[in-house]
Structure 1
Amino acid sequence: MRRVLLPHEISSAPPPAGGTIADWHGTSMGTGWSVRAVGGPADLGDRLQAELDLVVAQMSHWEPTSSLGRFNRAPAGTWHELPPEFFDVLSFGLDVCDATGGACDPCAGALVNLWGFGPVDRYDEPGFAPPTAAQVAGVLAHRAHVRLDAAGRRAWQPGSVQLDLSAIAKGYAVDRLAGCLDRLGIGHYLVEVGGELRGAGVKPDGQPWWVSLEQPLENAGEIVVALHGLAIATSGDYRRFFQTDARRYPHTIDPRTGMPIDSGIASVTVIHASCMTADAWSTALTVLGVDEGLRLAERRGLAARFLVRQADGTLLETVSSHFGAMLD
């Protein structure tokens, strides 16, 4: 069954008369990016790539020379002034961490690395073995959090924090691209980075930017979204994982237990005006599970869709009231 999701508010602003769609694309953050826009200067591709290069230079845990990489190696008990973009993303990530009781924690990079989903000693390299319970307990015992000084845009490195912004940085990168287009007066576009999307305006024929929600299984039921003033992010257990002794270990780690999630959730999709917000909350709700996650989504007014694996191999869909209100 095919269903349609529409935004509550639709702008009446038409695309430029006689406008055509132009495409730009490239690679960044270990994935691909693309932009479809009605109009744009000849050097738009370079401007878009520069926005993404800024995110990588500041927030990549894969680049040792990034601002994040330098912070992770900094001596214990030191303050560090952060670039404003890095500070804002980290601050938002810590807010989500607080709101979820630690279910989505940007300070949990050591656990991500331990399970082989970081930049070194990866799960897909020869000789990798899942960590022992003692190793997980050891990392949990030494976990700490950064402290932020908003006035000075500084962060305190207690000595054991390994920041990992992978649950939020792609969404932020999408917002950076959208912001670049907005500043240039380009109001009709579709932006994508590694499967996270944001759209504005309409196509030259007056149709919105229609996109299908990512599906972990064919029996999930298709939902197409009019991506008009909205962004979409999906977190799931099917993107990156490894199996050992018939056990499946997805890449999403619960920072509270130190273990990969085992809630039966196949995916969580969040729709929001901000892709950074959608990205962070899709991960957080995945970790929380459908019951606790749905309650939190309702309290915070999040449009969320949960797909949960059933014993017979099918998927059970549960949506928040804010998500359901947009379904036609």
Structure 2
Amino acid sequence: MRDARRVIIPLNLAPAGLERPAPGATVQMVGGRTMGTSWSVRAVMPAGTSLESHRPGIEGELDLVIRQMSTWEPGSALSRFNQAPAGSWRPLPRELMQVLDCGMGLAAETKGAFDPAAGALVNLWGFGPEPARQLPPTEPAITEAVAVSSWQRVRLDPAGCRALQPGGVYLDLSGIAKGHAVDRVAACLEADGIASYLVEIGGELRGRGVKPDMTPWWVGLEAQVPTVGDSAPVLIALHGLSVASSGDHQRVFEAAGRRYSHTIDPRTGYPVDEKLSSVTVLDESCMRADALATAILVLGEEAGQAYAAARGIPSLFGFRGLPASQWPMSPALAAMVE
């Protein structure tokens, strides 16, 4: 039977990190739990050195993201902003401002398909820190949440590292902070002189360099939704690239025979409900890949594919009931197929 795998190779292979590792180097791994999911780092380490010794630095980066950007932590910088009085300018840590500024820029670019200020809707549907729902919220409650859940109501002052709480806005960075955490861990490894690594947090990945046998960090994008026929993975060689996925299968609840996804369309206030079931994006920044995957999924089958094509975003579109080997690719991703 013909191998249906599709292999993705970056078009611009940066030379940094592609040198053959020193004799005796091995791939080592550390991992743990963070942000309600798992994390792992695989890295090529010279003989006589230990990746475990870098664990404190890695966990320090993960803890910083939680301390600043978690809505599950009442004392986080983000939670303090959400609880701030209406009309107050709140100082924000530099790292939080960086993520929020990126998210707000994407909100403007997608006309609200991605919206960091949609936390009230996320909570209303039971996908935030509050208890999960057994039934969908009422239409009046959704209308009320939509009214306060808009990126356009939030004003940022990046130079002054502060943001205006207009009243009722609940920021939620769950669609971008995990990718930012991947980037921070990668930067930490590089600062420590580690040239070849694969960082993963809850399925979001960033890779650089090659292993001792000179093979790249291969990542298989297995079918994450029910398919028919084959379910062959798409294989990506991660060097200088990040990959992030968003899907309507990750957190759901069912009521009256209907399935409700955790991916909310901030423009309507309702979970996405289309044939398009998952989107995977490649980008140098895992933070941006993370946010783009969510935005494109919310945009939907036609608008999402058009958006990715127009902006040259390497994207894979997953459809429930379609063989994974037949999932459409954006032109930018198709150009990488070997």
* TM-score scaled by length of structure 1: 0.95
| 1:178 equivalent in alignment to 2:186 | yes
- The two structures, once aligned, show a CA RMSD in angstroms of 1.5
* 2:149 and 2:170 in contact (8 A); partners too: no
Partners of 1:16 and 1:272 in 2: CA distance: 29
Q: 1:142 offset after TM fit, Å?
A: 3.2
Q: Could you say which residue in structure 2 is the equivalent of 1:162?
A: 170
Q: Could you say which residue in structure 2 is the equivalent of 1:9?
A: 12
Q: Structure 2: 5+ residue runs without aligned partners?
A: none
Runs of at least 4 residues of structure 1 off by over 6 A?
none
* 2:205 and 2:286 in contact (8 A); partners too: yes
Partners of 1:185 and 1:171 in 2: CA distance: 22
Q: Could you say which residue in structure 2 is the equivalent of 1:297?
A: 308
Query: Aligned to 1:267, what secondary structure does the other structure show?
Result: strand
Q: 2:212 aligns with which of 195, 204, 210?
A: 204
Q: 1:81 offset after TM fit, Å?
A: 1.1
Q: Could you say which residue in structure 1 is the equivalent of 2:54?
A: 44
| 1:107 equivalent in alignment to 2:117 | yes
Q: Could you say which residue in structure 1 is the equivalent of 2:329?
A: 319
Partners of 1:142 and 1:109 in 2: CA distance: 10
Q: Could you say which residue in structure 2 is the equivalent of 1:131?
A: 137
Query: Aligned to 1:111, what secondary structure does the other structure show?
Result: helix
Partners of 1:309 and 1:31 in 2: CA distance: 24
Partners of 2:258 and 2:75 in 1: CA distance: 36
Q: Which amino acid in structure 2 is aligned with residue 32 of structure 1? A: S
Q: Could you say which residue in structure 2 is the equivalent of 1:152?
A: 160
Partners of 1:22 and 1:167 in 2: CA distance: 29
Q: Which amino acid in structure 2 is aligned with residue 136 of structure 1? A: I
Query: Aligned to 1:112, what secondary structure does the other structure show?
Result: helix
Q: 1:228 aligns with which of 235, 239, 247?
A: 239
Partners of 2:149 and 2:280 in 1: CA distance: 29
Partners of 1:318 and 1:42 in 2: CA distance: 40
Q: CA offsets per residue over residues 171-213 of structure 1, 9 Å max, x none? A: 1111011000111111100100001011000111111111101
Give the share of equivalent positions with the same residue, in percent.
51
Q: 2:196 aligns with which of 184, 188, 191?
A: 188
Partners of 1:270 and 1:103 in 2: CA distance: 16
Q: Which amino acid in structure 1 is aligned with residue 189 of structure 2? A: L
Residues 223, 41 of structure 1: CA spacing in aligned structure 2 closer, same or farther, 3 A cutoff?
A: closer
Query: Aligned to 2:316, what secondary structure does the other structure show?
Result: strand
Q: Could you say which residue in structure 1 is the equivalent of 2:263?
A: 252
* 1:214 and 1:234 in contact (8 A); partners too: no
Q: Could you say which residue in structure 1 is the equivalent of 2:83?
A: 73
* 2:28 and 2:51 in contact (8 A); partners too: no
Q: Could you say which residue in structure 1 is the equivalent of 2:37?
A: 31
Partners of 1:264 and 1:220 in 2: CA distance: 17
* 2:119 and 2:149 in contact (8 A); partners too: no
Query: Aligned to 1:160, what secondary structure does the other structure show?
Result: coil
Structure 1, 208-217 or 244-253: larger mean CA deviation: 208-217
Partners of 2:319 and 2:106 in 1: CA distance: 23
Q: Could you say which residue in structure 1 is the equivalent of 2:92?
A: 82
Q: 1:97 aligns with which of 107, 122, 126?
A: 107
* 1:268 and 1:283 in contact (8 A); partners too: yes
Query: Aligned to 1:319, what secondary structure does the other structure show?
Result: coil
Structure 1, 94-103 or 298-307: larger mean CA deviation: 298-307
Partners of 1:141 and 1:274 in 2: CA distance: 32
Question: What count of residue pairs does the alignment treat as equivalent?
Answer: 322
Q: Which amino acid in structure 1 is aligned with residue 79 of structure 2? A: G
Partners of 2:37 and 2:329 in 1: CA distance: 29
Residues 142, 225 of structure 1: CA spacing in aligned structure 2 closer, same or farther, 3 A cutoff?
A: closer
* 2:222 and 2:231 in contact (8 A); partners too: no
Partners of 1:116 and 1:173 in 2: CA distance: 24
